Structure 1
């Protein structure tokens, strides 16, 4: 029997063809499975994205604002513009007459004016005056204007004036169906944050400067808003009090500001930290006559045209002032946001409840307005957050904003409100 010399080779070739065919079939099957998996994953992602978008679109939150000052009323206005807010409650201890008759003057810088205009605030139709892109008005006028806007809102709003927020109101908040955001704006003396469970712990930051303040109320004058006046590089002759220039004949110059309405006038003195004899004397020597004399002479020299000279007799009777220089500090609340899972409730603090200083500059309101610039985004994040990760991200966003705001204010606050010449 003859053997085919090519049989083995043909068998090997046929075997390789079969294996190649099986490999092709397996590859085709794997490719089909890959395509099918991709379609399933894409369908899942599309469905999830669509569901998440629908859920985010229809997510709703109830906002409770505590405090009807400029910051609290602005917070109500911001919340009303957010599509996720279904209802707003406002708790304010004072009645409307007390709010609109508050006499102290506030000043909004250009950044705050721009932001408030996006909320519908028309400064051109509000009593006040402009100077160097700063709008000066009485706080009562601003609050009356915001209240008039709030009472016209399309968003359901429950304004409870003359109602002090207390522990009893927490039960009302807990009975609200769905997620709740509580915004405490009742000032640095307010108790809302503590009642709601936030820590009262503050961190204090130094501005690396010393200052003094003075104020006088003249009941014979009206509450006419007046622009501020800044003067730089002031030097005082304090030789009668034992203060002299240093060995090089140099002393640290002071910055002076006069601001407020025609009825309530304020003065601030500011100087960077230094160890020159003049600054040391004004820091350590408790001499009311020296400080009163400085403020009276500063006021009479740099007052607005047409203002009456401040006499020694009037100053002795009515001028209130710091008896010596003190260190300027900013106090920052360590915890400005919290979430309580059992009640599905976020709590945040704004305005002087979150940050406050020991030095009045007339532009203090702007620090509170800066904090509200993150409120729209936070409301959206808080209303849509479902997982612990999303809730934590919302809280971190708010905490980062507050921390950055504090850093920015320490870096630029005095420069913008005192040191600069506009």
Structure 2
């Protein structure tokens, strides 16, 4: 009995030792598994972090620009210098000669001048003239200058002049590798927006002002850029047209702007909304001779010293003008940015395709160029956006910027461009 008990006790002790050793081994293995898992997770996270940094550093997209006007060409330069673009494709339906020979004058305000100078635009080496921090030149000169800049960019730019953006272009864009951004800026009458599937609807924002415009082309004059001339608080005597309008003291008068080149002269009359007898008469009465003579007198009275006087016969034959006052509005496209997941393509609308006045101010190009001031940031945002949240955030950023720009133009644009000296 005692011998048997001794054997059983020895066996039990041995089993207990084996159990403890097994538990110790299991514990050691568990620790090893945990350490291995931690090492693997840490290695994965480190590798992913390094990969993400490399991917973010080298991430690039393709940008397609539609329209080679001042806004389109500037968009090409902004995109190429953003540091996030591998290639730019530019579509323009007219040829180079038609672009660089455009004669009409454009004017850049101080804010736009500073923006363009940061892009490397050297206004001092461009034909034109300065006045009150604004620069005036011919549209063809500016476009030719930007084309010369684009040819020297380090990023490849595929310039397709004389090539209209159409259905085949859309198919080509959809087959481009990687993410793509399309910038549509082919003007208020362009067809690119419709082809790209965005809404044609515009919102009309009142600028709380009335206006009228006139234009005169004098073929005997050279295309010399001229500074604008502004005159404030003008009142008109309409007695010669059977109107007994007498202005009440305190009523604000019209603001007049004369602008354009020596050959193509333009005039704009603007007045804040009011119910003065003069404003009511000029809004309601449709008398072409009355409006023609108002513009004729305004030009001959306030023209520059180098301008020739306009004769009655010249105004009668060649002056085009508004027959009466109309309400000034800013037209803003409802949809200016979208994203197509199937082709991984963003689309934004800029320039007159996105927003424009229904009156010439002489500084209209600035309305379009203002939208490009955040283009580089937007390109960076969409290049790095991989999740649905990041994509929506980038779209929201651009949409809010467009809305804010519209508000600023409605509130301050007309005042800055027309109503102040």
Give TM-score, length-normalised by structure 2: 0.88
Partner in structure 2 of residue 197 of structure 1:
197
The answer on 1:255 being equivalent to 2:218 is no
Partner in structure 1 of residue 164 of structure 2:
164
The answer on 1:344 being equivalent to 2:341 is no
State the alpha-carbon separation in 2 of the partners of residues 236 and 45 from structure 1: 76
Cα shift at 1:348: 0.4
Partner in structure 2 of residue 231 of structure 1:
231
Contact 1:102 1:140 in 2 (8 A): yes
| Deviation digits for residues 255-282 of structure 1 (CA, Å, limit 9, x no counterpart) | 0000000000000000011111110010
- The 3 A distance-change label for structure 1 pair 106 and 44 is same
State the alpha-carbon separation in 2 of the partners of residues 306 and 124 from structure 1: 23
- Residue 56 of structure 2 aligns to a residue whose secondary structure is helix
State the alpha-carbon separation in 1 of the partners of residues 208 and 37 from structure 2: 63
State the alpha-carbon separation in 2 of the partners of residues 78 and 187 from structure 1: 19
Cα shift at 1:245: 2.5
Contact 1:104 1:260 in 2 (8 A): yes
Partner in structure 2 of residue 245 of structure 1:
246
Aligned-residue RMSD, C-alpha: 1.9
- Residue 271 of structure 2 aligns to a residue whose secondary structure is strand
State the alpha-carbon separation in 2 of the partners of residues 39 and 136 from structure 1: 65
What stretches of structure 1 of length at least 5 have no aligned partner? 1-34
The answer on 1:385 being equivalent to 2:385 is yes
Cα shift at 1:307: 1.4
What stretches of structure 2 of length at least 5 have no aligned partner? 1-34
The answer on 1:294 being equivalent to 2:297 is no
Cα shift at 1:111: 0.8
- The 3 A distance-change label for structure 1 pair 396 and 243 is farther
Partner in structure 1 of residue 29 of structure 2:
none
- The 3 A distance-change label for structure 1 pair 95 and 38 is same
Partner in structure 2 of residue 10 of structure 1:
none
Contact 1:251 1:278 in 2 (8 A): no
Partner in structure 1 of residue 117 of structure 2:
117
**More displaced stretch, 278-287 vs 36-45:** 36-45
Where do 4+ consecutive residues of structure 1 move more than 3 Å? 35-51, 248-252
What are the equivalent positions in structure 2 for 1:96-115 lying under 5 Å apart?
96-115=96-115
Cα shift at 1:251: 3.6
Cα shift at 1:50: 3.6
- Residue 83 of structure 1 aligns to a residue whose secondary structure is coil
State the alpha-carbon separation in 2 of the partners of residues 325 and 292 from structure 1: 12
Contact 1:245 1:251 in 2 (8 A): no
Contact 1:245 1:276 in 2 (8 A): no
Partner in structure 1 of residue 25 of structure 2:
none
State the alpha-carbon separation in 1 of the partners of residues 111 and 55 from structure 2: 34
The number of aligned residues is 387
What are the equivalent positions in structure 2 for 1:13-32 lying under 5 Å apart?
none
Partner in structure 1 of residue 28 of structure 2:
none
Give TM-score, length-normalised by structure 1: 0.88
State the alpha-carbon separation in 1 of the partners of residues 273 and 130 from structure 2: 33
- Residue 305 of structure 2 aligns to a residue whose secondary structure is coil
Contact 1:255 1:419 in 2 (8 A): yes
- Residue 91 of structure 1 aligns to a residue whose secondary structure is strand
Partner in structure 2 of residue 313 of structure 1:
313
State the alpha-carbon separation in 1 of the partners of residues 172 and 100 from structure 2: 28
Partner in structure 2 of residue 359 of structure 1:
359
